[in-house]
Structure 1
Amino acid sequence: MTAKSLTFGRVFTYGLLLVAALFFLAPLYVMIVTSFKDADQLRAGNLLSLPTSLNLDAWHLAWNTACTGVDCRGLKPYFMNSVFMAVPAVLISTAWGALNGYVLSMWKFRGSEVLFGFLLFGVFMPFQVVLLPMSQVLGWLGLSSSIGGLVLVHCLAGMAGTTLFFRNYYTAVPRELVNAARIDGAGFWRIFWRIVLPMSTPIMMVTLIWQFTNIWNDFLFGVAFSGADSKPVTVGLNNMANTTSSVKSLPPAGVCARHRPRP
């Protein structure tokens, strides 16, 4: 960037973006810095101050020994449940949406537009209305209270959104490429693997990030369809907060405040 291109408008724009980025990252900074402080530093009340020493007691407590109800194994089991749930659900729902979008944009059939219109209802439909029928379906399939059931639920819930992403993206792909491949004898799958999919990197990354964020942060399906051994980390965090609602677990710093003698 030359000095001539560094105009006042450009500097103002970059400065505004920098301020917005700092404002957006401030809660993350506070969360990370606070996790390394002991109880005395936390009671000092300065959220933005750096810790005087690197204290990992809070991380060890949360990961290994924190209690969620009567279970005192920490958040590690819940975190692994979220990993086993999110990774396959993200990959399957993204691949499913790519295939649906490919069919609905390049291999249209009678009623394809109507079908796509019905799929759009899944994007705007509140998930609370499907809790009861989905629980019945999971019971019929024998997937109740399991990670496999959560994977299936998230794949079905995300199918409408991923299909919408890929369908709208593929409509901008030049039809001449597909027609030329058909003339050369390429079929449905060869066109998808050799032509369409290599051009899908931008929308693929967008969909993967979108799906992973939604699935990892989900609480509704996790609390409704999980069992004792399949709860995701969002449910574990909620249970931990409810368990320690009266007395917060803090890293030790001398004598804890609630054990000090009253004056």
Structure 2
Amino acid sequence: MTASRTSSTQITRKPAFPIHRVGIYAFLFMSALFFLIPIYLMVATSLKGMPEIRAGNGLSWPIAPSFAAWIAAWSTACTGSVCEGISAGFWNSVKITIPAVILSCSVGAITGYTLSFWRFPGMNLIFGILVVAIFIPYQVFIFPMVSIFASLGLYGNIVGVILIHVIFGMPITTLMFRNYYASLPPELIKAARVDGAGYFRIFFQIILPLSPPIIIVAVIWQATGVWNDYLFGLVFAGMQNQPMTVQLNNILQSQMGAREYNMEMAATLLTALVPLSIYLLSGKWFVRGIVGGAVKG
């Protein structure tokens, strides 16, 4: 009897390392290399001098790493007719991103809360319009929005760019908050109404304290999208308010003579540093927000 139990245990015992995991780890490894190799090349090139770059050793780490190209990209690179680096574009991006994220997430939270717990005529139609708006290309609205903003005096300034990001960010943030709030127990709202709580009291005292997961997801999503935007900054910001992405394109397109690849790579990395930092610092909260119901519907 003991021998038969032992043989049965040996038969059903799982291997320590299943064979199918080899393919999974190989795929993950190749995917990581696909993204990491370009980043490595950019970092290595940005730390090299032009003579070393011209030698053709693209994959090698710089012999004497230097941040001279980073300093030039920040303070002296030509973004057209002005050679003041992308520092001005950085602060323009900050001025655009922070209020645009706060306003779009706030409007999305209020709208999502309203569509989840308060019934009114045309509610489903409004929600349907917002969902459809997510899938319409932005380019369709460029010309009419330019005309409208110009007539209102909002074209070519920071306020206009912020407003355009809030308008186009509202559908996706509304969908996020609405789907998250739909997963909350409706008994909470019913009990609050029985106790005499009104619209705003329910939102600020009950709904908002339960919203950190979806707030984190929406903030990361919007901050990354607004910071990386090129089209709206190019069309609506004007020459004096161009964000970092527009100035980066100007650096890459306006150089004359020999190209300074190290400075171009440094400018690209500086532009990507903020969204990359946001992800590295709060990426786990983003995942937790999604797992916690941020995109449930």
Q: Does 1:27 pair with 2:48?
A: no
Q: Tell me the distance in 2 between the aligned counterparts of 1:82 and 1:9.
A: 49
Q: Does 1:8 pair with 2:8?
A: no
TM-fit CA distance, 1:30? 2.0
Match of 2:153 among 142, 147, 153: 142
Partner residue in 1 for 2:250: 239
Partner residue in 2 for 1:219: 230
TM-fit CA distance, 1:46? 3.3
- Give the TM-score of the pair, scaled to structure 2: 0.77
Q: Tell me the distance in 2 between the aligned counterparts of 1:5 and 1:146.
A: 64
Match of 1:124 among 135, 147, 162: 135
In structure 2, stretches of 5+ residues that fail to align are: 1-13, 264-297
- Return closer, same or farther for 1:45/1:89 CA change in 2, 3 Å cut-off: same
Q: Tell me the distance in 2 between the aligned counterparts of 1:250 and 1:20.
A: 26
**8 Å contact 1:39–1:251 — kept in the other structure?**
yes
Partner residue in 2 for 1:49: 60
Partner residue in 1 for 2:74: 63
TM-fit CA distance, 1:228? 1.6
Partner residue in 2 for 1:105: 116
TM-fit CA distance, 1:96? 0.7
Q: Does 1:173 pair with 2:184?
A: yes
TM-fit CA distance, 1:84? 0.6
Output the amino acid matched with 2:18: F
In structure 1, stretches of 5+ residues that fail to align are: 253-263
Partner residue in 1 for 2:51: 40
Q: Tell me the distance in 2 between the aligned counterparts of 1:88 and 1:70.
A: 29
TM-fit CA distance, 1:158? 0.7
Output the amino acid matched with 2:76: T
- Return closer, same or farther for 1:251/1:109 CA change in 2, 3 Å cut-off: closer
Q: Tell me the distance in 2 between the aligned counterparts of 1:174 and 1:146.
A: 44
Q: What does the per-residue CA deviation read over 1:126-154, in whole Å, with 9 as the maximum and x for residues that have no partner?
A: 11111122112222322211111100010
Give the secondary structure class of the aligned counterpart of 1:238.
helix
Output the amino acid matched with 1:61: A
Partner residue in 1 for 2:285: none
**8 Å contact 1:217–1:234 — kept in the other structure?**
yes
Match of 2:95 among 59, 84, 95: 84
**8 Å contact 1:57–1:251 — kept in the other structure?**
no
Give the secondary structure class of the aligned counterpart of 1:104.
helix
**8 Å contact 1:38–1:250 — kept in the other structure?**
no
TM-fit CA distance, 1:52? 1.4
Partner residue in 1 for 2:84: 73
Deviates more, 1:46-55 or 1:71-80: 46-55
Match of 1:194 among 183, 205, 211: 205
- Give the TM-score of the pair, scaled to structure 1: 0.87
TM-fit CA distance, 1:16? 4.3
| Pairwise CA RMSD | 2.2
Percent same amino acid among aligned pairs?
45
TM-fit CA distance, 1:47? 3.1
Q: What does the per-residue CA deviation read over 1:88-127, in whole Å, with 9 as the maximum and x for residues that have no partner?
A: 1011101110110000011121110011111122201111
**8 Å contact 1:58–1:250 — kept in the other structure?**
no
**8 Å contact 1:36–1:51 — kept in the other structure?**
yes
